[in-house]
Amino acid sequence: MVVLDNLSTGSCELAHYGELVIGDLSNTQLLEQLFKEYAFAGVMHFAASSLVGESVQNPAKYYRNNVAHTLNLLEVMVNHGVKHFIFSSTAATFGEPEYVPIDEAHPQQPINPYGASKLMVERILQDYHHAYGLNSICLRYFNACGADPEGELGECHDPETHLIPLILQAASGRRESITVFGRDYATDDGTCIRDYIHIEDLCSAHLLAMCSLINGVKRGALAYNLGFVRKALSANFTYAKAA
């Protein structure tokens, strides 16, 4: 396994398994070098700018990093005949819910550049399947949470922006308080309800999705929502086998 990361929001200490290559998807020469050196069976693409507020303030960064740089990767994959691609998408492609729970058939009408950039890639993948035979699975996360139960990996955010760590910091006295925004939702106390998925379930979903492509169980440009995923996995990936 090879991990390509520019470490803009990551740390080399977290790359416990496989080879870490420090680099960026903007560097097409590096991508060509890696695909010539290694016989990749497939690619999982997690690299993206992901802050909704920042995407509104600086949309150019998001379209460049999330869309243009992804095109660099896809072009090299096509050139080297690598046909299996897992894309880290987002529930932000849906925009404001028209109904809940949100399923895969829900209209996709993103309300910010971050969600729009992810939806662009989803549509690009459909065209790449029809034109070049690239098989892909887009996994749309809602809200990821949790850490490795064995304590090897956890969240490393500075400054912290995620709700659950903020709540835990307030509960443990490391933060004075947290603010919950929104008082007009159709709930008992007027605050919103959010769907969370544990990081272990996300990892399982990505592995099963890649195995489904490699073993020929899934073909096309597919997409699955990842919320509370334990039951959904048995339905969506019943025939996935270990590589």
The residues annotated with a catalytic role in the active site are: 114
Say which residue the tokens 């398994």 belong to: 17
Indicate whether 218 belongs to any domain.
yes
Please give the pLDDT value at position 238: 38
Number of domains in the chain: 2
Residues 68 and 129 in one domain: yes
Residue 132's nearest CA partner among 203, 92, 82, 58 is 82
Residues 6 and 47 in one domain: yes
Please give the pLDDT value at position 61: 98
Rounded distance between C-alpha atoms, residue 186 and residue 159, angstroms: 31
CATH of the domain at 103: 3.40.50.720
Given a cut of 50, the residues of the chain with pLDDT beneath it are 229-243
Rounded to 5 degrees, φ, ψ at 128 are: -65, -30
Residues 185 and 203 in one domain: no
Token pair for residue 45?
A: 């693409």
Indicate whether 119 belongs to any domain.
yes
Residues 31 and 96 in one domain: yes
Give the distance between the most distant pair of CA atoms in the chain.
Answer: 57
Rounded distance between C-alpha atoms, residue 81 and residue 135, angstroms: 11
CA angle 30-34-36, nearest 5°?
Answer: 115
pTM metric for this prediction: 0.85
Residues 127 and 82 in one domain: yes
Token pair for residue 131?
A: 């034109």
Residues 70 and 135 in one domain: yes
Indicate whether 242 belongs to any domain.
no
- Residue 147's identity, in one-letter code, is A
Rounded to 5 degrees, φ, ψ at 136 are: -145, 155
Rounded distance between C-alpha atoms, residue 227 and residue 10, angstroms: 24
Residues 204 and 170 in one domain: no
**Structural domain span for residue 163:** 152-194
Residues 180 and 200 in one domain: no
Residues 83 and 16 in one domain: yes
Indicate whether 84 belongs to any domain.
yes
Task: Check if the beta carbon of residue 119 is closer than 8 Å to that of residue 109.
Answer: no
Indicate whether 61 belongs to any domain.
yes
Instruction: Find out whether the peptide bond into 159 is cis, omega within 30 degrees of 0.
Output: yes
CA dihedral 179, 160, 200, 168 (to 10 degrees): -50
Please give the pLDDT value at position 232: 41
Task: Check if the beta carbon of residue 82 is closer than 8 Å to that of residue 91.
Answer: no
Residues 42 and 78 in one domain: yes
Residues 109 and 29 in one domain: yes
Indicate whether 189 belongs to any domain.
yes
3-state secondary structure of 80: coil
Task: Check if the beta carbon of residue 84 is closer than 8 Å to that of residue 213.
Answer: yes
Please give the pLDDT value at position 228: 65
Residues 130 and 211 in one domain: yes
- Which strands make up the sheet holding 221-226, listed edge to edge? 43-45, 84-90, 135-141, 221-226
Indicate whether 147 belongs to any domain.
no
Rounded to 5 degrees, φ, ψ at 187 are: -130, 170
Task: Express the helix, strand and coil content of the chain in percent, nearest 5 each.
Answer: 40, 15, 45
Neighbours of 208 (CB within 10 A): 22
